[in-house]
Structure 1
């Protein structure tokens, strides 16, 4: 999105307690606030972090200063209390375009290499994640990269997430992660209209797939998604059937024809440590 506003902030803490949908994690971690990808369906649009800002969601990103310094301290304290499992990130993509220049996420990963958590889950849709393969390799089986690929159809991607990275670049990134033996999964969340070839496209790249939709995954049974008018996009495209609560079933059925059933997860189970 053009004319984005960037602001440097100085938070007192960098990690938060895992709650609700992510109660399986001891902590959540957001290197940035806001998100340049501005996905039409993003449930964060309806959360206080977005509602209390005067700027449109997608037009601003806050860059958290001294993030790694804070995390190093917090990790030491947290590890004394028990297992530390981290979900990065819940309300932003840790690989914002500005990460190329700022390196906040990379600095956090460097801190975690020095003071490893028991498990780190990295949720992104950005091919920039490939830059940090060297650090993921040092974390070994303590890390899992979750690459969002909602559809295999680029024209659909452009209708719903025009500011997000192209599908081909995300697929290439999964290939690079696989070649480097970095644990990774493809996350079809939320499901968007896709082709019958989608499972075969992912089969050589991952051995783990998570399928989620608006109703299971937006934290409010689909209410947040309805309130931002997603149904109108489906109606405009003549794809209303894909918006129904049972639409995920046909996608799931396609995937279990190609993947072993134990490699295909639905909603929350696919995000757990």
Structure 2
């Protein structure tokens, strides 16, 4: 692990968090870590309490949650005793497959717990090809599962500008292909939409039959205000700003994606992240 990264080990009181707002369709969110070493420039968590009140740069620290396999099993058992559904979004404020997961296996331990006591629905959101490591576990959960892989662009030069510590685009596409070869339910999240090539829609259509489009205005939870505070607009070239940064960016992306997908295969923002 890079020495500049600050890693701490903490034992939370609870692991499941009741949801509201953007994730109101779920009963709980589940974050294996606090903080995220991918440190994407546009991450809305930078502007959330966990990002603002920690006096360290977002992307330079992560708290590894301890003892959470047992906590998850216990919490789910207690919820089941009340005859309630458990629908889980993993993860809302971190990437469950960020680089430290190679060593810590926290996410894998949580999946193992879910195999013993499956949720009614599990949504796994990541941008990391490490997710393919857990195909054996996903196959046991496939009847209540959706995997969502973020691919904001097909241009790795753009990825390096906006999220240089995130995994390369080609590695993500390869991971999607491998997940689909095992007949797992996978969608691509173009979230947020970043400048992409004319070939991008066709590339994705060869991999998945479901995509979700999100932009800075519909997806940051504040109608674009969080993104404006992060000064993301400054990362765009002058030629890119008009088409790729604004309230109609998702409409442009939609028109491009329609060249390779049917309208039923393209979802927008919140609807693409909801259960079932």
| Short-chain TM bin | over 0.9
Structure 1: state its 5+ residue gaps. Answer: none
Please give the alpha-carbon distance, in whole angstroms, between the structure 2 residues aligned to 1:175 and 1:143. 17
Match of 1:118 among 92, 117, 120: 120
C-alpha contact 1:41 1:160 (8 A) present in aligned 2: yes
Q: Distance in 1 between matches of 2:162 and 2:173?
A: 18
SS state at 1:133 partner: helix
Misfit runs of 4+, over 4 Å: none
Measure the CA separation in 2 of the matches of 1:54 and 1:238. 35
- TM-score for both structures, normalised by structure 2: 0.96
The question of whether the paired residues in 2 share the 8 Å contact of 1:89 and 1:123 is answered with yes
Structure 2 unaligned segments of length 5 or more: list them: none
In the other structure, the counterpart of 1:190 is 192
**2:274 — aligned with what?**
272
Aligned-partner Cα distance in 2 for 1:79–1:49: 30
Q: 1:237 to 1:111 in 2, by over 3 A?
A: farther
Residues 141 and 183 in structure 1, CA contact (< 8 A), matched pair in contact too: no
Residue aligned with 1:207, SS: coil
How many correspondences in the alignment? 272
Q: Distance in 2 between matches of 1:195 and 1:20?
A: 33
Cα deviations by residue, 1:134-155 (Å, 9 ceiling, x for unpaired): 0000012211110000001111
| Distance across 1 between alignment mates of 2:203 and 2:32 | 31
SS, match of residue 148 in structure 2: strand
Q: Which residue of 2 aligns with 1:209?
A: 211
CA distance in structure 2 between the aligned counterparts of 1:188 and 1:74, rounded to whole angstroms = 33
CA RMSD for the aligned pairs? 1.0
- SS of equivalent to 1:56: coil
Is 1:166 matched with 2:168? yes
